[in-house]
Chain A
Amino acid sequence: MSTLELENVSKQFGTMAALEPLALRIADGELVCLLGPSGSGKSTLLRIIGGFEMPTGGKVLIDGADVARTPPEKRPTAMVFQSHALWGHMTVEGNIGFGLKLRGLKKPEIAAKVDAALRLVGLAEYGKRHPAQLSGGQRQRVAIARCLVLEPKILLMDEPFASLDQHLRDRLREEVRQIQRKLGITTVFVTHGQDEALSIADRIAVMSMGRIEQVGTPAEIYTHPQTPFVAGFIGDMNMMKTTVQGGAALIGGVRFDAPMADGEALIAVRPEDVTLMPSRDGEGARVRRIVNYGAVLKIEAEAADGAVWKVQTLKDVPVTEGGFYRPTVSRHIVFRDDRVVHRVDPT
């Protein structure tokens, strides 16, 4: 099927650089999430892939052919928009069949394809309705069907479920994942929700301020963040500024290995990598707050030097609010100048 390669793609809006020159390769049949906070340039990048924005520089290669200057109506891409993108004066069938009609297909052929697309998204009975007569989730399914019916090489989705409630969002996300697997269609999915990205993506490209900070599988992104931004943006993290002296740093009563020149550094520790051992009153860290999430407890503990530990433990570990515990840390990452300098990971 199809591969997508971005080479040195950049975008300038007036004097503002929305995208720094960046590169990304997406393999055939892969689902890649663009994940980042609002304003990080996700939509701009997706719209460049779809042809709705011209890049200021760089190449957009689909199966090796540069389409950077090709208008959207001539690109083998199809986009699902966040909302509002169905045509209200047409029925569901009309919406899905419109692109086929433009391609000059015959009526019976269109009807068959529309029917198959509707079946694929589970709306076989809804062809004669108008978009106004559908729920929000159904409308997005129609929008997906409208894209898939054209058999695009690349499917683009820009926060397609952002306006739906959590439950529906989870379900549609699963369905999209299944359809994408079944068709093996190369997909770029934009989201600002880390849960969404972690659960749906083959690989995630984390974006910040017009840059791709890191590309990797959800597991890589989670366990081996390459920059402090990625470390802080995905999952919970204890991010602590400190000063390294003599190859080590001391925070909240814990000694961290940091074999590097003396100076400022940033230490990142996952809450689940912190263990609390009971200690004498006044020693270690005092537990300020415990929140029970059923399977796990999330704990906040304050050390004597003011450092606050976010800790996550299994719920049968005995911890009480107000009690004193000595934290021990099994994994940590040391950053300096936005780069990983040292990593301690026993696994």
Chain B
Amino acid sequence: MSATAMSLRNGWRGLAFIAIPVMAITIFLFYPAALSIIGTLVHPKDGGGYTFSLQSYVFFFTDGYSLANLARTLWTTVVTLILLIAVTLPIALYMRFTKGPLATVIQALALFPMFVPGIIICYALIRYMGPNGWLQSLLSLVGFHHYASPHLTPWGPVIGLMWDGMPLTLLILISGLSNISNASIEAARDVGAGRLRILVSIITPEITHSLLIVSALNFLGIFGQALMPFMLGPTNPEMMGPFMLRTFSSVRDPLQASTQATITFLICSLAGVAYVRSIARRPQEDRK
């Protein structure tokens, strides 16, 4: 059998192999998504026929409440992302450059949230940091009586989302850091670089790729979140997740809900593009 015939047959077999998942994605994801996006732009006319209109978008971008919700979502996303990296990067650095039982314990602690369902994290956080929760009781035991609970403030979802995002962030950063060889760090010390200089000039540039992936993935995960903001956050303004949910099921305005969803989708797809690009443009260094 000739090589081309062979590869052709393999080609068909390959296609057959992915046909079912591709069909499933198309039927259950792309098709309904396309329908609802089109539904926000094309409306049935009274007495038959269709008309094209951007009216629901105009409403969204002129409605103070909708805009406040969008702003709150962006604020929460960016603040959570910054805090997440600020908290996780030192842990990852510690774990990369330290051996021993303490590093193992810290790793286990940091990865623990991965095995806890979000809803349980929410209730646990409410019991812990909510009004009259454990934290408040503990603090008043030591004589501090001015505790203001972050529960139902904008900081509530930030704390919950950090819990949620930490394990994956840590894993990606550690894997990025593990690509940096000890010798290249030692070589930097050898030519005269101190700790800070090594962090800034050697380690950070070597893990930009991982930082990009972490940022994009967390952006996607946080921006569209409904559970954490719903359970832990305030209602006015609120994040896009609960906003969509409420608009759809309580306000019963599917058109406005799909419009909010489409806008959320467009903003998230920017992060998606950044993610895909950073994956495609892998650092060209061969890491043997």
| Max chain A Cβ within 10 angstroms of own Cβ: one of B192, B194, B197, B286 | B192
B144 to chain A, nearest CB (A): 43
CA distance A103 to B283 in the complex (A): 29
CA distance A103 to B197 in the complex (A): 12
B174-208 to A contact mask, C-beta < 8 Å, 1/0? 00000001011011111111100100011001100
Question: Do B184 and A86 have beta carbons less than 8 Å apart?
Answer: yes
Q: How many A-B residue pairs have CB under 8 A?
A: 76
CB-defined contacts of B285 to chain A, threshold 8 Å = 88, 130-132
Question: Do A87 and B191 have beta carbons less than 8 Å apart?
Answer: no
> A76-84, A178-186, A191-199, A292-300: which one contacts chain B?
A76-84
Question: Do A73 and B184 have beta carbons less than 8 Å apart?
Answer: no
B284 at the interface (CB under 8 A from A): yes
Interface residue count on the B side (C-beta < 8 Å):
22
Question: Do B189 and A88 have beta carbons less than 8 Å apart?
Answer: no
Question: Do A146 and B284 have beta carbons less than 8 Å apart?
Answer: no
CB-defined contacts of B194 to chain A, threshold 8 Å = 73
CA distance A145 to B33 in the complex (A): 58
Given A73-B190, A102-B193, A150-B191, answer yes or no on A85-B284 (Cβ-Cβ < 8 Å).
no
A71 at the interface (CB under 8 A from B): yes
CA distance A103 to B192 in the complex (A): 8
Question: Do B193 and A146 have beta carbons less than 8 Å apart?
Answer: no
A253 at the interface (CB under 8 A from B): no
CB-defined contacts of A150 to chain B, threshold 8 Å = 191-192
Name the CB-closest residue of A to B207: A89
Name the CB-closest residue of B to A158: B183
CB-defined contacts of A74 to chain B, threshold 8 Å = 192
Question: Do A102 and B181 have beta carbons less than 8 Å apart?
Answer: no
Interface residue count on the A side (C-beta < 8 Å):
32
Question: Do A73 and B192 have beta carbons less than 8 Å apart?
Answer: yes
Picked from B188, B190, B197, B283, the residue with its CB within 8 Å of the CB of A88 is B283
Given A88-B283, A130-B285, answer yes or no on A102-B192 (Cβ-Cβ < 8 Å).
yes
B211 to chain A, nearest CB (A): 13
Picked from A51, A78, A83, the residue with its CB within 8 Å of the CB of B183 is A83
| Max chain A Cβ within 10 angstroms of own Cβ: one of B183, B187, B205, B285 | B187
> Which residues A5-30 have CB closer than 8 A to chain B?
none
A233 at the interface (CB under 8 A from B): no
Question: Do B183 and A81 have beta carbons less than 8 Å apart?
Answer: yes
Question: Do A99 and B283 have beta carbons less than 8 Å apart?
Answer: no
Question: Do B187 and A85 have beta carbons less than 8 Å apart?
Answer: yes
CB-defined contacts of A225 to chain B, threshold 8 Å = none
Question: Do A132 and B284 have beta carbons less than 8 Å apart?
Answer: yes
Question: Do B189 and A71 have beta carbons less than 8 Å apart?
Answer: yes
CB-defined contacts of B286 to chain A, threshold 8 Å = 132
Picked from B181, B193, B201, B205, the residue with its CB within 8 Å of the CB of A85 is B181
Question: Do A84 and B183 have beta carbons less than 8 Å apart?
Answer: yes
| Max chain A Cβ within 10 angstroms of own Cβ: one of B191, B201, B206, B288 | B191
CB-defined contacts of A71 to chain B, threshold 8 Å = 189
Question: Do B190 and A50 have beta carbons less than 8 Å apart?
Answer: yes
Question: Do A79 and B186 have beta carbons less than 8 Å apart?
Answer: yes
CA distance A45 to B191 in the complex (A): 19
CA distance A98 to B189 in the complex (A): 11
Question: Do B189 and A146 have beta carbons less than 8 Å apart?
Answer: no
Question: Do A81 and B192 have beta carbons less than 8 Å apart?
Answer: no
Question: Do B201 and A84 have beta carbons less than 8 Å apart?
Answer: no
CA distance A74 to B190 in the complex (A): 8
> Which residues B78-92 have CB closer than 8 A to chain A?
none
Question: Do B206 and A89 have beta carbons less than 8 Å apart?
Answer: yes
Picked from B184, B190, B205, the residue with its CB within 8 Å of the CB of A78 is B190
A125 to chain B, nearest CB (A): 20
- Known A84-B288, A147-B190, A150-B191; further 8 A-B contacts with Cβ < 8 A: A73-B189, A78-B191, A83-B288, A84-B184, A85-B183, A98-B193, A99-B192, A132-B283
Can you show 5 pairs from A to B with CB atoms below 8 A apart? A71-B189, A87-B206, A89-B206, A132-B284, A146-B187
Residue numbers of B with Cβ under 8 A of A are 181, 183-184, 186-194, 197, 201-202, 205-206, 283-286, 288
Residue numbers of A with Cβ under 8 A of B are 50-52, 71-74, 77-79, 81-90, 98-99, 102-103, 130-133, 143, 146-147, 150
Chain A to chain B: the 9 pairs with minimum beta-carbon distance, closest first: A99-B191, A88-B285, A84-B181, A85-B183, A81-B183, A132-B285, A89-B205, A85-B187, A102-B192
